[in-house]
Amino acid sequence: MASTETTGSSKKLRVLLIPFFASSHIGPFTELAVSLATARPQAVEATIAVTPANVPLVRSLLQPHENGSGIPVKVATYPFPAVDGLPKGVENLGAAAQADAWRIDVAALSDTLMRPVQETLIRAQSPDALVTDVHFMWNAGVCDELGVPCVTFNVIGAFSTIAMRHLLGRVSNGEPEVVTTIPRFPAPEIRVPAVELPEYLRSQRKGGQSTFHRLYAVQGDCFGLAVNTSPALEEHYCGMYVGNGYAKRAYMLGPLSPRLPSSPEAGDSRYTDWLDSKPSRSVVYLCFGSLAHVSDAQLDELALGLEASGMAFLWVVRTDKWSPPERWHERVGGRGMVATAWAPQRAILGHRAVGAFVTHCGWNSVLETVAAGVPVLTWPIVFEQFITERLLTQVLGIGERLWPDGAGVRSTSLEGRGMRRGEESWNWPPRFTPRWRKEDPPTVICTA
């Protein structure tokens, strides 16, 4: 059994957390580590383990939590394995070129590449408990050998993860036009075209077994499963983990939304000062997350659409290589603001001037917009985002699809689409009441 650190006459429970190689995973993991360490500082010691290139991100996420006693979470490192064709030091999906992102996935999911370095880390740290990203299924076996409880942590919500589980093995790449109804789901009926499903679901042979079947089996055998959500948001889906036998214990820990540090380029006030000059609910906020790769042609079309709409907007463009159409800034003038690389999203969504959020439906953005009560226009791009879109538009009813015909950003042309609607306009719904309070405790669902 793992040892604990003795402090005076008491012993601290030592918890090790290992996130996936993406900012959208590292953020919630870091926030969970802080929550564990600060809830009972004399009883719990939390350590988050990442590869060297991800340490600066973790440090920046911990910085807002620094107090007189220092940062309450330790940071451990382990090496990222060498991968053919992947530049040295590229260890995060957000830092990878579009052509290299798959190489990070290959390394991350590899028994031969990733398991040895993570197993060495776990044995060296000798924790009392492990919280591991759901992708690293081998860590449950390592914990079994050490006699340590293992909790898998899913950073996205219950609706999307259970939907993908129920759809596994039901579609194939040869059926792009098939519209599938998610089975064994409560009302309303959710239908998703095959083309909008994640690649791993479309690439599976119907009825066949896959890596994800093994992953789900491992989750069911673990001590428990943690999810970054709340029953206040996904009431009818949170209970399905234990109710359907998918987990022995399910911990609903959300919303875990990291407190980001100040912008390295300018203070938070740059954006909020601009918003202060705008009327209430008059600004459209647009951001497509840290992993989206949107072509220059699509950015051009969106820029022209925003120009033609006549609306005030704050647009986050995470690239320094794209330039808007000629004289676009001059024509848009003061009604538009473009942020590059970084923006304080929680502060922006919480501002009275923001009336709508054009979002890629990434889970962290979903949690932040629901907490702020801002309605959405959905523009999903990759992964589970097309499924999450249904939660927002069909279940929660807090927005509309920007692409009613589906799969918009995968299209080669945006002519006449999206914000470029000419005389059409979207009748924005009012801000809604947030569905949870920050002080609400986590929900634990256990087997009998």
Is 276 labeled as catalytic in the residue annotation?
A: no
Q: Which amino acid is at 147?
A: G
Nearest Cα residue to 32 out of 62, 3, 12, 56? 62
Nearest Cα residue to 172 out of 211, 208, 201? 201
Q: Which amino acid is at 364?
A: N
For 120-238, strand residue ranges (E) read 129-133, 150-154, 179-181, 191-193, 224-227
- Yes or no: say if 59 and 34 are a contact pair by the CB < 8 Å rule: no
Residue 361 φ/ψ, nearest 5 degrees: 70, 25
Q: Specify the DSSP element, H or E, that contains 358.
A: strand 354-359
Residue owning tokens 């740290």: 125
* CA distances from residue 187 to 229, 236, 237, 377 in whole angstroms, order as listed: 20, 9, 11, 22
Q: Which ranges of 258-309 does DSSP label H, i.e. alpha helix? A: 269-276, 296-309
Of 25, 135, 166, 360, the catalytic one is 25
Q: Which two tokens stand for residue 40?
A: 């009972």
Distance CA 371, CA 373 (A): 6
Q: Which two tokens stand for residue 71?
A: 């940062």
Non-local CB neighbours of 221 within 8 Å, separated by 6+ positions = 140
Q: Is the dihedral of CA 118, 120, 123, 125 positive or negative?
A: negative
* CA distances from residue 190 to 144, 197, 230, 390, 396 in whole angstroms, order as listed: 38, 13, 21, 7, 13
Q: From the DSSP assignment, how many helices (H) and strands (E) are in the chain?
A: 16, 17
Non-local CB neighbours of 66 within 8 Å, separated by 6+ positions = none
Is 65 labeled as catalytic in the residue annotation?
A: no
Of 128, 133, 351, 360, the catalytic one is 133
Active site residues: 25, 133
